[in-house]
Amino acid sequence: MQPDRPGLHPGKENDLTAELRLKGAPASRGYAIGPAFLFKRDIISIDDRKIEPSETEEQKDKFKKSIEQSNKELIKISTITNQKLGEEFSAIFDAQVMMLFDPEVTRLIHREIDQNLLTAEAATEKAYNLQIDLLRAAATDPYLAQRMADLEDVKFRILRNLQRGKLLSHVEDSSVIVSDNLTPADMILFSRQNIVGIALDFGGLTSHVALIARSLNIPLVIGLHKISASVKNGDEIILDGIDGNVIARPTQPVLEKYLKKKEKFRKFIAIFETGISEPAVTLDGKKINVLANIEFRDEINDMQTCGAEGIGLYRTEHLFLSRGYFPSEDHQFKYYSSLFSQAKDWPVTIRAFDVGGDKVLESSFHEMNPFLGWRGIRIMLDRPDIFKNQIRAILRASVGRQVKLMFPMVHNLTQVHQIKDLMEEVYLELDRKEIPYQKVPVGVMIEVPSAVIMSEEIAREVEFFSLGTNDLTQYTLAVDRGNDIISSLYRELEPAVLRLINRTVLSGHQAGIPVSLCGELGSNILATPLLIGMGMDDISVVIRRVPEVKYLVKNLRMEDCIRLKDEILALGTVGEVEARLKSWLTEHLPQFAGYI
Ligand code: PEP
Ligand code: MG
């Protein structure tokens, strides 16, 4: 079967009156229906005349004023972002402010004005393009691509201010924003208007824009390729952020169908939220902790309303990614202290930096196969300074808190021994300096097949396991989790993956340690009964999926799930597994029929 590639256009192209259907990638869940608000950046035409030598001071002054105005705007956006989403996101704009004042770029611009007699606009464009071109060479690296996008954004802002343009006009209520792409700053400004969804030609699933949309619960579909050229302002848009479909100018029957889907989705969400604060216990009394995966501290504000029973995975990479360098021990200590206090009595499993793979460490460092490269624990063990800084900060902040610590990407027992040795060194150093800290349970993520094979031995050395099924799937099937072309082969329900998961649970329980799962498989409710049947102790999912997983746990019987598990583990193909899980769920919980 051919993968369903984004950007296909079965509708009539360029006919701006007919119904148009586009397929993209769903980047933030939910349905939106509303008029299109077409957002196009002003095409800035640059004043490229040669100036008179007598004008140079005036041009430099113009540039200075535009920097001041841009700085004001960015500080405002950063403040709004900080209030809405917290420091991790506002750091994006703080980084842009730093770019604004880069002395090297300013020198270059002054030189172009003084020596080459360029206008401030032309000099700005030239100097920024130079920086952007330097990064373009490495643009396959998502971190650098993001920096390049930030530089473009800064350049555009300065140029717009040189020309005194205004960015956003009034957006009609309940609009669906349609654009080629958005910057994080556009996204924040739009989120202050009453918009219901966003459809983009480009964009990445892990871009800042996608992360912000998910955090703000605004449905988003990306990778639609031509949507901005194919709709007019005010066209009715249906945006399906579940399957990635966008329909412009729908016919009445299609509109009615989606209005029903949207209503059904809303009703299901309401059903899942009934009794949300009750603990997740199966009908026959087995407690399973349904926890939240948290990437940004402010998502903790939603823990109560989503009924999360703790944090099963706190990713710390953002501390690095939003800056481009590892923050100091003290900065991290303050950060973790406030994180743990914000998490109140909820247990928190915090993960050491999982940098590398698609989250690159050094701008000059490139690998042919980054997912098989210098990543996660491999970096931490090679760089004990980074390891110890983070661990000291976490242990110091853990005093009086319920914290567990886990390490990503462990692939053998030797690494477990190395981790334990380094932990001992950290304890000794803290003892010697009489710095207060708390020892916390230490576990490892099981996300590399060799770690599953060695899981009996590893289980005897650690205090818990957490299954990272996103990576376990990609490494077991040898299917790159970020590669569009083979995305149809990336199937978490492949029997090989399920057998490895089951084996991990058995090894953990044999050694008497709890086993959690924190990969995306946990959010696939088809898999919930299977995971319960395997005996998973915790299931940790993105925060907005907690209610449905919890609802499922509370409405199932452990003994039925065990029978299902035995049946599924005997199957040979992913197709059979999916079909059986679907039929089983519909038999046991018919009310789910319209949701799965
Ligand atoms: C995983 O691999 O399943 C996981 C939870 O970690 P990440 O997605 O951050 O690699
Ligand atoms: Mg992983």
* Strand pairing class (31-39; 236-240): antiparallel
What pLDDT, on the 0 to 100 scale, is given for residue 469? 96
What pLDDT, on the 0 to 100 scale, is given for residue 171? 84
Q: Is the pLDDT of residue 7 over 70?
A: no
Give just the sign of the alpha carbon dihedral 409, 569, 584, 489: positive
Average pLDDT, integer, range 109-137: 90
More confident of the two residues 559 and 92: 559
DSSP-derived secondary structure for 18-29: S-EEEE-EEEE-
Which pTM value belongs to this model? 0.73
Those residues whose C-beta lies under 8 Å from the C-beta of residue 398, and which sit 6 or more positions away, are 336, 340, 437, 438, 440
Least confident segment among 182-191, 206-215, 292-301: 206-215
More confident of the two residues 211 and 128: 128
Average pLDDT, integer, range 539-547: 89
Average pLDDT, integer, range 86-107: 88
Atom of ligand 1 nearest to the CA of 471: 2
How far apart are alpha carbons 250 and 269 in whole angstroms? 25
Instruction: Specify the residue with its C-alpha closest to ligand 1, atom 3.
Output: 468
Distance of CA 573 to the CA centre of its chain: 30
Average pLDDT, integer, range 371-398: 95
What pLDDT, on the 0 to 100 scale, is given for residue 8? 34
Instruction: Specify the residue with its C-alpha closest to ligand 1, atom 4.
Output: 468
Q: Which residues are catalytic?
A: 208, 518
* Ligand whose nearest atom lies closest to the CA of 469: 1
Average pLDDT, integer, range 393-413: 98
Q: For the sheet containing 176-179, what is the strand order?
A: 20-23, 245-248, 236-240, 31-39, 176-179, 197-200, 220-222, 25-28
- Computed on alpha carbons and rounded to an integer, the radius of gyration of the chain in Å comes to 26
Average pLDDT, integer, range 284-292: 97
Atom of ligand 1 nearest to the CA of 521: 3
pLDDT, mean over the chain = 88
More confident of the two residues 184 and 433: 433
What pLDDT, on the 0 to 100 scale, is given for residue 364? 47
More confident of the two residues 261 and 145: 261
Instruction: Specify the residue with its C-alpha closest to ligand 1, atom 6.
Output: 468
Atom of ligand 1 nearest to the CA of 313: 5
Residue 519 Cα, ligand 1 centroid: separation in angstroms? Answer: 6
What pLDDT, on the 0 to 100 scale, is given for residue 113? 95
Helix, strand, coil shares, percent, the chain, to 5: 50, 15, 35
Instruction: Kindly provide the residue ranges of all beta strands, DSSP E only, lying in 309-463, ordered along the sequence.
Output: 311-315, 348-351, 403-407, 442-446
23-53 burial code (b ≥16 CB/10 A, e <16):
bbbbbbbbbbbbbbbbbeeeeeebeeeebee
What pLDDT, on the 0 to 100 scale, is given for residue 3? 35
Q: CA angle at residue 510 from 466 to 501, to 5 degrees? A: 40
pLDDT tens readout for residues 228-243: 999 999 999 999 988 7
Burial class of residue 104 in the structure, from the number of CB atoms within 10 Å of its CB (0-12 exposed, 13-18 middle, 19+ buried): exposed
Length of the chain: 596
Residues with CB under 6 A from ligand 1: 313, 315, 354, 447, 468-471, 518-519
What pLDDT, on the 0 to 100 scale, is given for residue 370? 83
How far apart are alpha carbons 448 and 469 in whole angstroms? 9
What pLDDT, on the 0 to 100 scale, is given for residue 4? 37
* Strand pairing class (197-200; 220-222): parallel
How far apart are alpha carbons 126 and 112 in whole angstroms? 8
How far apart are alpha carbons 77 and 182 in whole angstroms? 14
Residue 170 Cα, ligand 2 centroid: separation in angstroms? Answer: 42
Residue 47 Cα, ligand 2 centroid: separation in angstroms? Answer: 49
Average pLDDT, integer, range 241-263: 92
Residue 519 Cα, ligand 2 centroid: separation in angstroms? Answer: 7
pLDDT cut 70: percent of the chain above it: 92
What pLDDT, on the 0 to 100 scale, is given for residue 559? 97
Average pLDDT, integer, range 88-107: 88
What pLDDT, on the 0 to 100 scale, is given for residue 581? 97
DSSP-derived secondary structure for 192-229: TTT--EEEESS--TTSHHHHHHHHHT--EEE--SSHHH
Least confident segment among 359-363, 449-453, 486-490: 359-363
What pLDDT, on the 0 to 100 scale, is given for residue 149? 81
pLDDT tens readout for residues 575-593: 999 999 999 999 999 887 7
Q: Is the pLDDT of residue 42 over 70?
A: no
How far apart are alpha carbons 379 and 107 in whole angstroms? 37
pLDDT cut 90: percent of the chain above it: 61
pLDDT tens readout for residues 149-182: 888 889 988 988 888 765 555 788 899 999 998 8
Average pLDDT, integer, range 257-282: 91
CB 511 within 8 A of CB 459: yes
Least confident segment among 5-14, 379-388, 555-564: 5-14
CB 532 within 8 A of CB 553: yes
Average pLDDT, integer, range 341-362: 84
DSSP 49: P
Q: Is the pLDDT of residue 362 over 80?
A: no
What pLDDT, on the 0 to 100 scale, is given for residue 182? 87
What pLDDT, on the 0 to 100 scale, is given for residue 85? 78
Residue to probe by mutation, ligand 1, list 317, 410, 470, most atoms within 8 Å of CB: 470
What pLDDT, on the 0 to 100 scale, is given for residue 350? 98
Least confident segment among 371-380, 385-394, 426-435: 371-380
Residue to probe by mutation, ligand 1, list 359, 445, 501, most atoms within 8 Å of CB: 445
Average pLDDT, integer, range 15-37: 87
Max distance between CA atoms of the chain, in angstroms, equals 87
Average pLDDT, integer, range 46-59: 90
More confident of the two residues 394 and 29: 394
